[in-house]
């Protein structure tokens, strides 16, 4: 056996739905307000995963303008039947208070890389849908049932309803097949048939430290379902020192030789406040599942293992470094935009070949029309840099490098204009609706030339730096608390957060001047990097 380290998909990769088709494995993960929608990974050995694309890539499939932070695409569920991939997911437009305004949609494709169909609206009764293909050919939709009455258990259980694919409609009325277990907050259903039993796998306990995977089973599809005596099958609750926390929201996969694994989300807290800057990640656990019995973790107990046994594989690090010189005519699939597909209105790779050209629009606080591209933060320690040519005329134009969680949580090093002419650096920090300028009057820049902007992250401490051509890197501003860019900090501030930190290239322009911000590289290196000021890590020296 080989020890494969968790998480298998680091950084913002929550709510994994795992699937095997022949000798190929796939994982679909939530993307929330980020475009394109539903991230898709492929593997041949369960250990090494490659991003192969996204399911929702056209405006006819996805329109996210105005959705709140951590709204949008929740909990995709991937399945395969009748020679097709099926993907069902929630599009959440509001989730505060007693209301959960979510539509559940279904798309299909002959190949995992698409093209995927336009969405079919399934229902609006709750969120976290999944699709079960029974042995007799019938198809069934499951989802969490949301009870909007404030005096009730709003996580009302799991409902089941038959789906007619020929007419793309639901049949009959939904049946409540499970009200959940004593853990409560029942969501994320996945149904499996093995032997004489239907096994219903659920996420319970909420999305924080009490998160868990629970199982019930029945010999009849409609139930009644009996509760697993070993529940929760997976949880980190009660083990605050475990490296993988918030373990829950899982799905099963069987290998061709009959072994079973559980893919699940987890988080890795750091620092005295126990915040998870990388968001919710995807991990994998080996499962023992004797015929006619309950599935359990292979290592015993319910605590997720930091390493998973997979035979005869050699696991390589998941994308430890990334470099983009923007020489391709199309945007690399590692990049994500906020709430909309990039168009020539604000992004071009062809107007100035070899450069990413952004034209500024709204501010980082806006849920419409942000000119921003984000790369997922994948490591607790990294060095990142970009080189930017930007010549603003006044304070209304800015562009630069941000560590971005959402519209309230970010650290942003920007180039803007000085009063009276010229350029300067400013450092804007957002935390829970409070926005501060950490540089006061700013740092004066020469009127000409490109500017290297960068940052080093280590142990939750974030230090920005800059340099001009042929000059050493200079630190900019104080050492910042990067753990503010986390679900945990958002919750501390009285809101909800379910995503993760991105490193963003962005531009703003409230004067509609169309002044371009030209980025000619992006360089990301994991913890093996040297510190700011070292010539060995100067982005200009990168091939």
470-489 pLDDT, tens per residue?
899 999 999 999 999 999 99
pLDDT of 531 over the 80 cut? no
Check residue 150 and give its pLDDT.
87
Q: Across residues 442-460, what is the average pLDDT?
A: 96
How far is 436 from 80, CA to CA, in rounded Å? 49
366-406 pLDDT, tens per residue?
999 999 999 999 999 999 999 999 999 999 999 999 999 99
pTM comes to 0.96
Residues 6+ apart with CB under 8 A from 285: 234, 261, 262, 264, 297, 298, 304, 305, 308
CA distances from 339 to 68, 90, 502 (A): 10, 15, 14
pLDDT of 6 over the 50 cut? yes
Which two structure tokens, joined as six digits, stand for 264?
A: 């699940």
Domain 321-541: state its class.
mainly beta
Question: Is residue 448 annotated as part of the catalytic site, yes or no?
Answer: no
pLDDT of 228 over the 80 cut? yes
Check residue 96 and give its pLDDT.
85
295-324 pLDDT, tens per residue?
999 999 999 999 999 999 999 999 999 999
pLDDT of 530 over the 70 cut? no
pLDDT of 1 over the 90 cut? no
Confidence of residue 527 (pLDDT cuts 50, 70, 90): confident
β-pair partners for 107: 87
β-pair partners for 264: 250, 283
* DSSP code per residue over 118-182: PPEEEE-S-S--EEEE-TTS-EEEEEEEE---TTS-SEEEEEEEEEETTTTEEEEEEEEEE---T
Question: Is residue 281 annotated as part of the catalytic site, yes or no?
Answer: no
Domain with CATH 2.60.120.200 in the chain: 321-541
What percentage of residues in the chain have a pLDDT greater than 90? 93
Confidence of residue 440 (pLDDT cuts 50, 70, 90): confident
Active-site residue identified among 91, 128, 187, 389: 187
How far is 39 from 29, CA to CA, in rounded Å? 5
Active-site residue identified among 15, 204, 389, 518: 15
Domain with CATH 2.115.10.20 in the chain: 2-310
pLDDT of 114 over the 90 cut? yes
Check residue 376 and give its pLDDT.
98
Nearest to 502 by CA among 373, 409, 376, 410: 376
Element containing residue 468 per DSSP (H, E): none
Domain 2-310: state its class.
mainly beta
**Token pair 């409902």 is at which residue?**
159
């Amino acid at each position: 056996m080989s020890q494969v380290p968790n998480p298998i998909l680091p950084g913002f990769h929550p709510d994994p739905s795992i699937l095997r088709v022949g000798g190929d494995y796939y994982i679909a993960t939530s993307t929330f307000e980020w475009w394109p929608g539903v991230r898709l990974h492929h593997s041949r050995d369960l250990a090494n995963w490659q991003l192969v694309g996204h399911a929702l890539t056209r405006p006819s499939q996805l329109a996210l303008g105005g959705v709140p932070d951590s709204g949008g695409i929740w909990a995709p569920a991937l399945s395969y039947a009748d020679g097709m991939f099926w993907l069902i997911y929630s599009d959440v437009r509001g989730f505060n208070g007693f209301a959960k305004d979510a539509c559940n949609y279904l798309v299909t494709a002959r190949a995992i890389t698409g093209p995927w169909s336009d969405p079919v609206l399934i229902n609006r009764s709750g969120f976290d849908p999944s699709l079960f293909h029974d042995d007799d050919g019938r198809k069934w939709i499951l989802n969490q049932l949301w009870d909007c009455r404030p005096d009730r258990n709003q996580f009302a259980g799991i409902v089941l309803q038959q789906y007619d694919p020929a007419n793309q409609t639901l049949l009959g009325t939904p049946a409540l097949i499970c009200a959940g277990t004593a853990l409560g907050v029942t969501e994320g259903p996945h149904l499996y048939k093995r032997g004489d039993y239907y096994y219903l796998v659920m996420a319970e306990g909420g999305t924080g430290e009490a998160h868990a995977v629970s199982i019930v089973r029945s010999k009849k599809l409609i139930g009644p379902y009996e509760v697993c005596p070993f529940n929760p099958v997976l949880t980190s609750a009660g083990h605050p020192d475990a490296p993988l926390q918030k373990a829950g929201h899982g799905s099963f996969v069987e290998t061709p030789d009959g072994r079973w694994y559980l893919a699940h989300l987890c988080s890795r807290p750091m620092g005295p406040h126990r915040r998870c800057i990388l968001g919710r990640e995807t991990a994998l656990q080996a499962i023992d599942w004797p015929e006619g019995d309950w599935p359990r973790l292979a290592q015993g107990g319910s605590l997720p293992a930091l390493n998973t046994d997979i035979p005869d594989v050699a696991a390589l690090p998941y994308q430890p470094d990334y470099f983009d010189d923007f020489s391709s005519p199309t945007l690399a699939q590692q990049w994500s935009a906020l709430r909309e597909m990039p168009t020539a209105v604000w992004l071009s790779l062809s107007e100035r070949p070899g450069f990413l050209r952004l034209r500024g629009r709204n501010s980082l606080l806006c849920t419409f029309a942000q000119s921003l591209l984000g790369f997922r933060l994948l490591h607790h320690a990294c060095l990142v840099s970009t080189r930017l040519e930007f010549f603003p005329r006044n304070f209304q134009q800015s562009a630069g490098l941000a560590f971005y969680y959402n519209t309230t949580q970010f650290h942003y090093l920007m180039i803007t204009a000085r009063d009276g002419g010229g350029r300067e650096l400013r450092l804007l920090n957002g935390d829970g609706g409070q926005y501060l300028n950490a540089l006061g009057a700013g740092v004066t820049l020469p009127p000409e030339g490109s500017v290297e902007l960068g940052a080093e992250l280590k142990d939750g401490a974030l230090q920005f730096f800059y340099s001009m051509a042929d000059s050493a890197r200079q630190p900019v501003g104080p050492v910042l608390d990067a753990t503010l860019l986390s679900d945990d900090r958002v919750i501390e501030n009285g809101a909800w957060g379910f995503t993760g930190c991105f490193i963003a290239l962005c531009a703003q322009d409230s004067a509609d001047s169309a002044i371009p911000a030209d980025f000619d590289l992006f360089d990301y290196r994991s913890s093996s990097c040297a510190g700011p000021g070292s010539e060995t890590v100067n982005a200009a020296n990168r091939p």
